[in-house]
Amino acid sequence: MLTWLRGGRVIDPVGGGNRVRDLFIEDDRIVAEPLRRAVDQAYDATGKVVMAGGIDIHSHIAGGNVNTARLLLPELHPGQTPSSSKLPFSSARWSTFETGCLYAKMGFTTVVEPAMSPHHALHAHLELADTPIIDKGTLTVLGNDDFLLSMLRQGESASAIADYVGAAVAATRGLGVKCINAGGATAFKYNARAFSLDDVVPHYGVTSRAIVEALQQAVSDLKIPHPLHLHMNNLGIAGNVETALATIDAARGLPLHLAHVQFYAYGTEGKRGFSSAAARLAEAVNAAKNVTVDIGQVMFGPTVTVSLDVLRQYNGSRNARPNKSVIFDGDANGGGIVPYDYRRSDFYNAVQWACGLELFLLIEDSWRVFFTTDHPNGAPFTTYPDLLALLMSRDLRAEWLAEMPRSVAEMTTLGAIAREYTLDEIATMTRAAPAKLLGLADRGHLGPGARADIAVYDDHMDRARMFRDAHLVFKDGDLVVRDGGVTHYRAGRTLEARPLFDRAIERRLDAYYDEVYRAPRDLFAVHPDILPRTVRFEQVGLRQ
């Protein structure tokens, strides 16, 4: 079937620039303008803005800890809007079904769940199977697991470690590897209350730095497109910009992705000992071309923090709003679920908000900075439209800043930053760059051969309104959203990297599971035949 999308302002930083032109869709792909062929259907995009479907590289949308948050906080999601019978659960607040619909409405078509514990991988994939429309991927979390730490203690070779990492990614069907406070969750089990880059994990005698280096190397050796995705030590602590700067150095010029860096952009100035160090961090990121970052922007309102950094979450549970939390010492990472309410009137929260915006605006290369709120940790992803509006308007930022404690402006440089994101930069940051970072060659752009994931927006001056409810969204060429409303469900794909590794490691792992976990390793493996029939995995090409 041939579809003609006529006369929109097409913004495609990869191949097409920014100009008014037509797009043609043949089945699930974008094609060059066909000669002498009748179109089957046409949509008028005159006056509209057309971009590839958005890609979110870091959003906690599925898995055991997210589900615990749902159970912990029924008050955070009272449901009152009826779902249509064609779209069951689409209005069920915080359900996986609602998540798929809300992303699609904003023109996002691919989302990565970045914190999948190997022993909860099945759970994550089951939730993703019930997340309609969008394509999904997961990052397999390693770096606090006994098997890896024991390998490092014993000085095993890089190739043996790569085999282990490859086997873990394959069994869990991950798209990449994430490391969360390397060694920190394990150290917390030995009662460490703080854990930095050069601290040593008790019992194993390895430093956080050594774990990060080993995983970074393994991901590279396995030719997984997405570099190691790192949640650094010391999240959320005043003065932790030093940790972020040291970690950038620790990358030794090799590819490394740093997650939600807003939470690491804090200095110790001012009478409260808490200030923005975003300018320093941005400068370091600008200089380190091997490093990519996502922001983890804070926006105001009640939310919940869901993290496998259980040490940090335990420390943060003192400030839970409301005062309840779940601290989970799991196999390897575990996790912590701590509700929180970011307040505009709270000095610390307002500085956090400003830090994130400073980073967005001071990091120059929109190919290396990624658009996230670390959903739901900094804010729910539903705040994206407001955040995009802030990035695109200095005046709007000034209005917000004027409503905050005056000391906030003194502790940040935000007020002095004139930059306003262009639609081209937004398209790079939310489409083209994420596709490149994840190795998704047929996404994030609108050239011939690209997957027909397309968002068409009304060109409102009010950018928040523009990005909240897309005019049209196509997923695989199928129109799924019209005027901000989801028209029907379809099953998205699950993207996975299938790295090559020496399968001899599996026999060793089987024996380890029998001995240490007293359970077959296969109990935790993600086999398609035990998932719903609608689940489709798509293999992402390995790096050449």
Partner 1 sequence: MPQDACFTEGRLLSLAEATDAAAGLLAASRLAVFLIGACDVAGTRAAIRLATRVGGVIDQSESTGAFRELDVMRSFGRFIVTPNEARQRADTVLLVGSGLTKLWPDMIERLGLAELPRLGLAPQRRRILRLGGSADDPDLSTLAGQTIAAQDEALPTLIAALRACNAHRPLARSADGDALNTMAEALKQAKFGVIVYSPASLDALAIEMLVGLAADLNKATRFSTISVGASGNAETAMQTCAWMTGFPVRTGFGRLYPEHDPWRFDASRLIASGEADALICISSEPGLPVLPPRIPVVALSAEQSGRTDVKVQITIGRLGRDHGGVDFARETQSLVGRRASAAAGFPSAASVLEQIAERISPGAAAC
| Binding footprint of Zn ion on the chain (CB under 5 A) | 374
Find all residues with CB under 8 Å of 154, minimum gap 6, and list them: none
DSSP code per residue over 387-430: HHHHHH-HHHHHHHHHTS-HHHHHT-SGGG------HHHHHIII
Smallest gap from residue 480 Cβ to partner 1 (A): 12
80 binds, among Zn ion, partner 1, none (CB under 5 to 8 A by kind): partner 1
Q: How far is the CB of 378 from Zn ion (least distance, A)?
A: 9
Please count the other Cβ atoms lying within 10 Å of the Cβ belonging to residue 36: 4
In sequence order, the β-bridge partners of residue 457 are 49
DSSP letter, residue 241: H
**153 in contact with partner 1 (CB under 8 A):** no
* 114 vs 121: CA distance, rounded Å: 12
Piece in contact with partner 1 (CB under 8 A), picked from 121-129, 242-250, 295-303, 396-404: 121-129
Q: Which residue has the tokens 């769940």?
A: 113
Q: Site for partner 1 (CB under 8 A): how many residues?
A: 72
Q: Quick check: 145 binds partner 1 (CB under 8 A)? A: no
The DSSP line for 9-44 is: EEEETTTTEEEEEEEEEETTEEEPPPSS---SEEEE
Binding mask 433-472 for partner 1 (x = CB under 8 A): ----------------------------------------
**158 touches which of Zn ion, partner 1, none (CB within 5 to 8 A by kind)?**
none
Q: How far is the CB of 230 from Zn ion (least distance, A)?
A: 11
We find the least distance from the C-beta atom of residue 259 to Zn ion, in angstroms, to be 6
- Tokens at 350, concatenated: 């307002």
Task: Point out which span in 19-27, 127-135, 259-267, 452-460 binds partner 1 (CB under 8 A).
Answer: 127-135
> Within the chain, what is the greatest distance between any pair of CA atoms?
72
Q: Which is nearer to partner 1, 183 or 434 (CB)?
A: 183
Residue holding tokens 């008014």? 20
Residue type present at position 472: L
Binders of partner 1 in range 323-382 (CB under 8 A): 324-331, 334
DSSP assigned state of 431: I
Cα–Cα distance for residue pair 448/440, rounded to 1 Å: 15
Q: Which of 7, 16, 79, 270 binds partner 1 (CB under 8 A)?
A: 79
User: What count of other Cβ atoms lies within 10 Å of the Cβ of residue 198?
Assistant: 11
Sign of CA dihedral 417, 421, 422, 428: positive
* Nearest CB to partner 1, comparing residues 500 and 516: 516
Measured at the CA of 473, the angle between CA 472 and CA 477, to 5 degrees, comes to: 120
Residue closer to Zn ion (CB basis): 141 or 165: 141
Choice between 80 and 154, CB closer to partner 1: 80
Of 69 and 429, CB closest to partner 1 = 69
Burial class (CB in 10 A: 0-12, 13-18, 19+), 495: buried
Residues of span 170-199 touching partner 1 by CB under 8 A = 188-191
Confirm if 229 and 259 have CB atoms less than 8 A apart.
yes
Nearest distance, CB of residue 122 and partner 1, angstroms: 5
For Zn ion, the closer of residues 161 and 232 by Cβ is 232
Q: Does 521 bind partner 1 (CB under 8 A)?
A: no
Q: Which of 519, 536, 541, 543 binds partner 1 (CB under 8 A)?
A: 519
Task: List the one residue from 32, 500, 504, 516 that touches partner 1 (CB under 8 A).
Answer: 516
Enumerate the β-bridge partners of residue 206. 201
**By CB under 8 A, which span of 60-68, 447-455, 460-468, 499-507 interacts with partner 1?**
60-68
- When asked if residue 29 is in the footprint of partner 1 (CB under 8 A), the reply is no
